[in-house]
Amino acid sequence: MTTSAKIRVCVAGATGWAASALCQALVQTDDLLLVAAISRKHAGDNLQEVLSLDTPTPVPIFATVEEALQIPCDVFFDYTAPDIAKHHVITALRHQLHVVVGTSGLTDDDYREIEQVATEQQRAVLAVGNFAISVVLLNKFSEIAARYMPQWEIIDYASDKKPDSPSGSALELANRLAKVGQPAYTIPVEATQGYKATRGATINHTQVHSVRLPGYVIALESIFGQESEKLILKHEAGTSAVPYVKGALLAIRQVHTLTGLKRGLDQVMTF
């Protein structure tokens, strides 16, 4: 990839809610070029027509990653589902592409496998649980809080239609907090009297609770406590996909500066 050439992008899950907004933005840029898309539902169609993209260039839609990657590109962006995302990412890496992952639900084991392939191929995977700048800030502030307040838990909220639980944002936050330390619960979860499941799932030593109800879009909350005081940090999303587009474009533009697996949009941001 030269500095003067446009960065060629393939988007998997291109007709989804967030990905379609990203595709609309991609064709408005001067430095990025949307060259291919993956959508099993619209395979064989032209994304330009499906999304009414303001571009004269056709964007073919394929059913599989293997078909899509026959078209040369530089960055593979995955906005699909966890049951197929790992295959997409590993296939793209083995095609010598850099990868941005926006898909929720991939596990730490999935990412360990992905990291191994990325390192072998000397390519980058930037996994972002949430591209909204407010979530990046929540993660950063939470890491600071965990250094000074000994107990914390995470709550993630989403619509009743969201199939994965917890969200990718919650998983990323739990992963980050684990690098700071472990919460010192007064009563260990295993010593809970009654129904231990009400204490949530233990993920990287942090209790994570997921709410899935109509009326919610996406929200993420980290709660920190110590004697006689508490701190609540919360991100709430509206119904528009706009907050995720700016961060996704930044990830696409900067992923080539990395090597191996990196988690979080802050990996390509300056603080």
Domain ranges, ordered by start, for the chain = 7-131+240-268, 133-236
Separation CA 133–CA 139 (nearest Å): 10
Q: Which helix (H) or strand (E) holds 34?
A: strand 32-38
**Under 8 Å between Cβ of 36 and 71:** yes
Using alpha carbons, select from 257, 231, 239 the residue that is nearest to residue 21: 239
Q: In what order do the strands lie in the sheet with 151-158?
A: 201-203, 206-212, 151-158, 218-226, 229-236
Separation CA 91–CA 85 (nearest Å): 10
- What pLDDT sits at residue 2? 44
**At residue 3, does pLDDT exceed 70?**
no
Share of the chain above pLDDT 90, in %: 90
**At residue 212, does pLDDT exceed 60?**
yes
Give the CATH fold of the 7-131+240-268 domain.
Rossmann fold (3.40.50)
133-236 and 7-131+240-268 share a CATH fold: no
Q: Which helix (H) or strand (E) holds 145?
A: helix 133-148
Q: Which tokens is 229 given?
A: 């005081």
Give the CATH fold of the 133-236 domain.
Dihydrodipicolinate Reductase; domain 2 (3.30.360)
Give tens-digit pLDDT for 129-147: 889 999 999 999 999 999 9
Q: What share of the chain is helix, strand, coil (3-state, %, to 5)?
A: 35, 25, 40
Separation CA 157–CA 165 (nearest Å): 10
Q: Which tokens is 224 given?
A: 């920190």
Using alpha carbons, select from 33, 34, 31, 40 the residue that is nearest to residue 13: 40
Burial class (CB in 10 A: 0-12, 13-18, 19+), 180: middle
Separation CA 91–CA 88 (nearest Å): 5
Give tens-digit pLDDT for 151-193: 999 999 999 999 989 998 999 999 999 999 999 999 999 999 9
**At residue 4, does pLDDT exceed 60?**
no
Q: What is the three-class DSSP state of 106? A: coil
The length of the chain in residues reads: 271
Side-chain-facing half-sphere of 59: CA atoms under 13 Å: 31
Give tens-digit pLDDT for 81-132: 999 999 999 999 999 999 999 998 899 899 999 999 999 999 999 999 889 9
Q: What average pLDDT does this structure show over 229-256?
A: 94
1: amino acid identity, one letter: M
Backbone angles phi, psi at 220, to 5 degrees: -140, 135
* Residues contacting 225, CB < 8 A, separation 6+: 149, 151, 152, 231
